[in-house]
A and B are shown apart, each in its own frame.
Chain A
Amino acid sequence: MTTIDTTSVPDQPSRQVVGFKPDLLQSGDHELCPGCGHPVAWRLVLDVIAELELSNRSILIAGHGCYTQMMKLSDLDSLQCLHGRAPAVATGVKRMVPDAAVFTLQGDGDMVSEGLHEVLHAAARGERVTALLFNNGVFGDTGGHLTATTVIGQRTKTSLEGREAEAHGYPIDVSRLIAQMEGTAYAARGAVNTPGMVARTKRMIRRAVELQMAGAGFTFVEVLTMCPTGWFVPTPAGPEYLEESMMETFGIGELKAPE
């Protein structure tokens, strides 16, 4: 058993983990809120790109939302596109550069509210890209408003007493829609609210990227992420709140995968 000598100053200063910052991040200085789940989710994507040795052939098509930060900070050839349209833009990119690993990054407002049309058609066409949905169930960037995935009962600035089906309709389970598409090779929903879920979600992303590069078809991973600011809950309560609200509504797991 190792005993730590506490009688003198250590030779080297302590640090959290060696190489904590992924190589594909030019800087870790993001401007996201405390408790935000996006950075953890994005880290998984960067780690998978590096592990699969796709660093010099990856292209990121990012939409508009808090996660736009990731486009700015990541050392990836990137295009910021119009809200909702990333899967259409990625289609044009991938068709012209078929050897590239093409990623789209969207939030729930971007993909499910504004851009449901584009993502479903890209899936139906079996576009060989990996579409990522960081779903926190609210418009975080605008300050907590109702999206197409806001769960029943969730309070937002445009559903003050909580989402009611009668007034606001029901949330859309986009993973299930995409999984139904013939062109979809892989569809899964993970989360980043516990270490175990983070590890499981990383495996989903890796699987999706491997299948993209194998040319299997449209690959899709939805990641449920925390947004305590947009949910109006205390920061430390985010992970547990996610479990009780979004995870309870949508569930976790692979919805479509090759045998």
Chain B
Amino acid sequence: MTRRLMQGSQAIAEAAILSGCRFFTGYPMLPFTELLENMARKLPATGGVCINANSEIEAINMALGAAATGARAGTGSCGQGLALMQEGIAELALNELPLVVFNMARGQQDYFQATRGGGWGDYRTITLAPKDVPEAVAHTQLLFDLADRYRTPTILYGDYVIAHSSVGIEVERLDFDPLPAKDWALDGSMSGTGEARQIWTWARGKPNTPGPGPNRAWKTIAEKYEEIARVEPRFEANRTEDAEILVVSFGTTAIFVDRVVDELRAEGVRIGSFRPITLWPFPGEALAEATEGCAQVLVYELNAGQMVDDVRMFAADRSAIRSIGGVSQDNSGMRQGDLLNAEEVRTRVQHAMAQPPAAVPSGRTSS
């Protein structure tokens, strides 16, 4: 195999199909549209099904149905469309059904949506935020594995840049540990045996095979998410060992931050960067370690300050934290704006360096 020039959306679609995804559905919405188009083009040849849904609500519920049969399934949209899917995502979590949801986001304002969610119940969604197309290809495969392993919906937090960038890439299959059989999957074969299967958020079971009921089932699910929070955090730390200034960012923004960090290092500044790869579970312990001894912890995210909440929970010294990003959309509202720019990162980092944190009462500046 050789590298081929392809758009991020195509590479992600190929990775999903390579992972065994056989059901995909979505409602066209930029910048998710091309992923849906690619799945529509490629899935039928594999024996799979791709349906152009009539709403995001229909999409998430069709995907839930496919997942309930044990098939690997996916859906997606941008954050605006995922807003409509929240009830379904929560239902998948409490039904313990695996699904991969692709948020090809218009920016970075969906951090709360991805990490807190808008559905009801004690649930979480494993969320990976790739910084570029090759990572998105790997993350897509990892998310299908994690979804099955933990029986939970997972989210790929991509964006316009990843969806639309064309890169030379080889979509390689990743290997994972064997997974348990999906004995819970519905195929009708247990009907009439006296032990028919049931998928129900209340988990009360049937007369012959009583379930644990809502209280016990939901405690068990909550414990599962605690376990994920312990085992699955992923991050990238760049030159953090001796850093006095640490810049925290996620997704494609991190590429711009890293470039500035490299530049400033070359100029003798003791600066490093930290990137949560899993937005949930947030790599809190690693961040605590990375921020140890840092005079300044600068959070560069393209929103009014969302991830900074998680940084505050874990940073060694909360008074060192400052948001130096901000809301940044271009005029179409479809993609990141002026702050996705290395010069802008550099200006804001240097501005912060010139202002000692003690001068900032709340540990936070306006952008």
Contacts and interface: CB of A to CB of B under 8 A. Distances in A.
Interface of A: 23-24, 26-27, 29, 50, 55-59, 61, 71-82, 85, 88-97, 100-101, 117-118, 121, 125
A93 B22 CA distance: 12
A93 B87 CA distance: 19
Given A81-B64, A92-B67, A75 B193 contact: yes
Residue with the greatest number of chain A CB neighbours at <10 A, chosen from B197, B200, B208: B200
Nearest to A88: B61
B95 to A, nearest CB: 8
A223 B224 CA distance: 42
B365 interface: no
Given A26-B207, A61-B65, A96-B23, A88 B58 contact: yes
Interface stretch (B133-141, B181-189, B258-266): B181-189
Contact of B65 (A27, A75, A77, A79): A79
B313 interface: no
B50 to A, nearest CB: 10
Interface in B159-211: 186-202, 204-208
Interface residues of B, number: 47
B188 A56 contact: yes
Contact of B23 (A23, A55, A92): A92
A214 to B, nearest CB: 17
A252 to B, nearest CB: 30
A89 B207 contact: no
B207 A55 contact: no
Given A75-B191, A75-B206, A118 B196 contact: no
7 contacts: A77-B196, A79-B198, A80-B199, A81-B64, A85-B58, A91-B62, A96-B66
A118 B65 contact: no
Given A75-B208, A78-B196, A82-B61, A95 B188 contact: no
A118 B70 CA distance: 22
B187 A100 contact: yes
A56 B192 contact: yes
Contacts of A117: 54-55, 57-58
B73 interface: yes
